[in-house]
Structure 1
Amino acid sequence: MTPINKQILHIAIPSIVSNITVPLLGLVDVTIVGHLGSASYIGAIAVGGMLFSMIYWIFGFLRMGTGGLTAQAYGSHNLKEATRILQRSIAVSMLLALALLILQYPIRVIAFLIIDASPDVRQLAASYFHICIWGAPATLGLYGFTGWFIGMQNSRFPMFIAITQNIVNIAASLFFVFALGMKVEGVALGTLIAQYAGLLMAYLLWLRYYRPLRKHLSRKHIFEREAMVRFFQVNRDIFLRTLCLVAVTVFFTSTGAAYGDVTLAVNTLLMQLFTLFSYIMDGFAYAGEALSGKHIGANNRTALRLTVRNLFGWGLALALMFTLLYGIGGKGFLRLLTNDEQVILASATYFYWVLAIPLVGFSAFLLDGICIGATATRLMLRAMIVASAGFFLVYYGFRSSLGNHALWMAFILYLLLRGVVQAILSRRLINK
């Protein structure tokens, strides 16, 4: 195996493990409350979990922006700047977390105006929300640490942190619910403790393994004007891109619901296949982020082009593998998720759209990582705007004749446009 491929896998494999552990936090919570004897408990966790996913998804720019900037500083051997990027990221994370804590009541009110739920679920979800919201400093702070570790070519630490969070969450939630007799509040406290356990572990790992960088810590230089302008420019573009991504995702789900419960169930199950593929491809996107940023920081364009070429080799191979796996075993996987024959039968009508996802979508994931590492965030934003516009134009152009098929066709085009437009716009960045 070539050195470049070893570097890619060294970052990608721990990142994939970290990605797979992310949904386990929510799954553990649902499993615990699922044994409490009331469907309203499950509904409360589902609503609360969805709300936090949307909130924290929007702030994902903290991880991505920090990762790209750090990787370039690492590549240029500017460890002083790399250290201060972490300081800036943590400082901004804490300010944003403080805003969420101050605004928690209006956020909850607005969210429940949008989310349709029964009074019992609303009451329980509100309790869950007002406990878990106090984990905002830990969650957003971890975004900064995770991005920084990846930028420093270290994806093992985020993996260790994610595994630790799951272990703490399981132990704490089981203790509060079954030993102390708490209900939804116990699950929320378990999640809260797990979030701070992850942040504490990140800080201790940094102290233990990056101790020499402590000499570069400086309160005076955290908010240097030029550095902060660049930090916010990068993160502003990622934030706006994320809003477009959220708009497409929410529209896909809500529009599918308008076609009836069976269609909503079909879309939800089929999207699990996309999610599974995305966990794998995101691992390679993180590798692209770390390595492309390092090579650009070192002004090594030859290594950058070689990395991109190898990344696309891995991406194409994985896309072909997933297409084959979904073609052979995808319907069997759906039967693991549901035994509703009506839903399984209806899913066959739309299954060929899922088969197109790996080959159509893999380049979008990889180019996202490469552009983040290159801090070419304006390029990412432009590609996302084009792709999102294409999504809505295709759906509204064909919905009257194709119905839910128009929704899937629009989603496939959206993935394709993200990859194609970014490939066109990034050619000069990669080949110059």
Structure 2
Amino acid sequence: MTQASTTRRSVRRRHDREIVSLALPAFGALVAEPLFLMVDSAVIGHLGTPQLAGLAIAAALLSTAVSVFVFLAYATTAAVARRVGADDLPAAIRQGMDGIWLAAFLGLAVVAVTLPTAPWLVDLFGASGTAAPHAVTYLRISSFGIPAMLIVLAATGVLRGLQDTRTPLYVAIAGFTANAALNVGLVYGAGLGIAGSAWGTVIAQFGMAVAYLVVVVRGARRHGASLRPDAAGIRASAQAGVPLLVRTLSLRAVMMIATAVAARLGDAEVAAHQIILALWSLMAFALDAIAIAGQAIIGRYLGADDAEGARQVCRRMVQWGVVSGVVLGVVLVLARPLFVPFFTGDPTVQDTLLPALLVVALSQPVAGVVFVLDGVLMGAGDGPYLAWAMLVTLVVFAPVALLVPVLGGGLTAVWWAMALMMTVRMLTLSFRMRSGRWIVTGATR
């Protein structure tokens, strides 16, 4: 074995260790987050169907409100990681504090809008007369937790940028445990019904926010970073987040169009579509964990002026994405006899589900590349390109998906359109990666 070959293997092993050490805890934290809603659903489900229907509507509104601001985590991760790579921890934490202050201000603004408009928002979703009061109650109370959740997003970005994905995992597990205990205690022990579930979740969310703030504040004091809000820094954080907001909204539009088209096809189709979406989201958590590792590692390499190191780790993460996608696709196909009956016993829904599920399995290697390159470009602070690429993808996807009810093909055609969407994303992101224009070194982009 030549010296060059030995060196390449050593570099690959080092990159693998970095990726695994960041991705595994990130995956655990990502999986723990949706368990909040599962606990709420399980507890409220025993109160009655109207309460559960109300939770479904309120949860959809709340998840949309929070997911729109996911850029607080992504943009903060990239900015902090760059300064870590430049060996300027005080500036890294200062950058993170700007993101946290922005999260707090945005959270308060969302609460101010949600409280008076809650009945109108619930009606907009077409809630029944029996479910609407429960939805309004849950939405209004839970909205108080939005500032805490946005702070959690931003603080998670700070820690990821500092190459720490273990603390978010521990906080997520503690938050999930507290939420479960509070829900049971307040709903049944205190007899507060759906309001008790909402208050339990809010308390758990603020507990998570406090835990994150304690960690960040300790780091700020240790490195002499200011904790005060800085108008210029907050404005810069907001400007960096705008392109990622456009990207997120475009992606949400894709998902909404796909669901709307499936709903037009019939009850069996939309039921099968919902099951596939749940599975698709679960697999996305695994791929997103690699993307999160990419954000943190790429930002650090670029901050350290190591362009070649950034290229090498990017190539290695793409390999990880492809292999992970292949594994997920194979598992999805082999395990379908086990999980399909778990979701539904309706033969019509099962027959509708299976061919579309095969399309999803075939597209997973493409999804693996997309998630990884998305994370790489976020870590590089290449938000404007990500925004334009996602808008182009939306323009290609929308007419194809909307033609499905006209041209036929059923739910399988909808998911072929989704596979096309992922392919367009892969092509646009791969073009950017090969161009090298995303490689901008230094403590700031």
Same fold (TM over 0.5): yes
Q: Is the contact made by 2:359 and 2:416 (CA closer than 8 Å) also made in structure 1?
A: yes
**Partner SS for 2:130:** helix
Match of 2:362 in 1: 356
Choose the corresponding residue for 2:59, options 49, 56, 59.
Answer: 49
Query: Which stretch shifts more, 322-331 or 285-294?
Result: 322-331
1:189 is the counterpart of 2:189: no
For the residues of structure 1 that align with 2:252 and 2:142, how far apart are their CA atoms?
22
CA offsets 1:13-59 (integer angstroms, 9 cap, x no match)? 000001111111000011111222x1111111111111111110111
2:7 match = none
Q: Is the 8 A contact 2:103 2:147 kept in 1?
A: yes
Consecutive unaligned residues in structure 1, runs of 5 or more:
none
- Sort the Cα spacing of 1:207 and 1:35 in 2 relative to 1 into closer, same or farther, 3 A: same
Q: Which amino acid aligns with 1:417?
A: V
- Once residues 127 and 439 of structure 2 are traced to their aligned partners in structure 1, the CA distance between those partners, rounded to angstroms, is 52
Q: CA deviation at 1:132?
A: 0.5
1:87 aligned to which of 64, 78, 97: 97
Q: Specify the SS of the correspondent of 2:87.
A: coil
1:406 is matched with 413
1:272 positional shift: 2.0
Structure 1 residue 171 displacement after superposition: 0.7
What is the rounded CA distance, in whole Å, between the counterparts of 1:107 and 1:247 in structure 2?
Answer: 22
Amino acid at match of 2:426: G
Q: CA separation in 2, counterparts of 1:405 and 1:326?
A: 16
CA distance in structure 2 between the aligned counterparts of 1:25 and 1:376, rounded to whole angstroms: 32
Aligned residues of 2:122 and 2:136 also touching (Cα < 8 A): no
CA distance in 2, matches of 1:137, 1:126: 19
> Cα gap change, 1:131/1:411 in structure 2, threshold over 3 Å: closer, same or farther?
same
The one of 388, 406, 414 equivalent to 1:382 is 388
When normalised by structure 2's length, the TM-score is 0.92
The alpha-carbon deviation at position 254 of structure 1 amounts to: 2.1
Q: Partner of 1:290 in structure 2?
A: 296
Give the equivalent residue in structure 2 for 1:217. 226
- Greater shift after overlay, 404-413 or 244-253? 404-413
1:253 equivalent in structure 2: 259
Contact 1:353 1:409 in 2 (8 A): yes
Where 1:216 maps in the other structure, the secondary structure is coil
Q: Residue 148 of structure 2 aligns with which residue?
A: 138
State how 1:164-175 maps to structure 2 within 5 Å.
164-175=174-185
- Specify every segment of 5 or more residues in structure 2 that has no aligned partner in the other structure, as ranges: 1-11, 441-445
AA matched with 1:408: W
- Is 1:367 aligned to 2:373, yes or no? yes
2:17 paired residue number: 6
Does residue 346 in structure 1 map to residue 352 in structure 2? yes
Query: Does residue 305 of structure 1 match 2:318?
Result: no
Tell me, what secondary structure is at the counterpart of 2:131? helix
Secondary structure, aligned partner of 1:119:
coil
State the partner residue of 2:437.
Answer: 429
Q: Which moved more, 1:388-397 or 1:172-181?
A: 388-397
| Residue 239 of structure 1, aligned match among 242, 245, 259 | 245
Q: Partner letter of residue 156 of structure 2?
A: T
Aligned to 2:68: 58
Q: Could you tell me how far 1:203 is from its partner in structure 2?
A: 1.7
Q: Is the 8 A contact 1:68 1:373 kept in 2?
A: yes
Shifted more, 298-307 versus 191-200: the winner is 298-307
**Post-superposition offset of 1:332:** 2.3
Cα displacement (A) at 1:248: 0.9
For the 8 Å contact 1:390–1:410, the answer to whether it is kept is no
Contact map agreement 1:399 1:407 (CA 8 A) in 2: no
- Offset of 1:359 from its aligned partner? 1.5
Relative distance call for 1:346 and 1:206 in structure 2 (3 A) is same
Aligned length: 427
Alignment check: 8 A CA contact 1:394 1:406 kept: no
State yes or no: 1:69 paired with 2:79. Answer: yes
AA at the equivalent of 2:141: I
> Aligned letter for 2:324?
L
What letter is aligned with 1:288?
G
Equivalence for 2:43: 32
Greater displacement, 3-12 / 422-431: 422-431
User: Does the alignment pair 1:198 with 2:208?
Assistant: yes
Distance 1:39 1:103 in 2: 28
Secondary structure at the counterpart of residue 144 of structure 2: helix
Q: Is the 8 A contact 1:274 1:357 kept in 2?
A: no
Aligned-partner SS, 1:264: helix
Q: Describe the superposition over 1:95-130 as per-residue Cα deviations: whole angstroms up to 9, x where unpaired.
A: 111211211245424422431221111100100011
Give the letter aligned to residue 420 of structure 1: L
For 2:55 and 2:301, the matched residues in 1 are separated by 43
Q: Distance in 1 between matches of 2:362 and 2:32?
A: 26
How far does residue 208 in structure 1 lie from its aligned partner after superposition?
4.5
Distance 1:398 1:27, change over 3 A: closer
Alignment of 1:324-339 (within 5 A): 324-339=330-345
User: Does structure 2 conserve the Cα–Cα contact (< 8 Å) formed by 1:241 and 1:385?
Assistant: yes
Q: Distance in 2 between matches of 1:431 and 1:189?
A: 46
Provide the rounded CA distance (Å) in 2 between the counterparts of 1:186 and 1:317.
Answer: 44
> Match for residue 32 of structure 2?
21
Structure 2 vs 1, CA of residues 360 and 107 (structure 1 numbering), >3 Å: closer, same or farther? farther
When the two chains are superposed, the root-mean-square deviation of aligned CA atoms in Å is 1.8
Asked if the contact 1:285–1:370 (Cα under 8 Å) also holds between the matched residues in 2, the reply is: yes
Q: Secondary structure at the match of 1:355?
A: helix
Partner of 1:159: 169
Q: Structure 1's 148 and 324: CA in aligned 2 closer, same or farther, altered over 3 A? A: same
Report sequence identity in percent.
25
Q: Matches of 2:343 and 2:328 in 1, distance apart? A: 18
**Counterpart code for 2:437:** L
Letter in 1 for 2:28: V
Shift of 1:430: 5.7
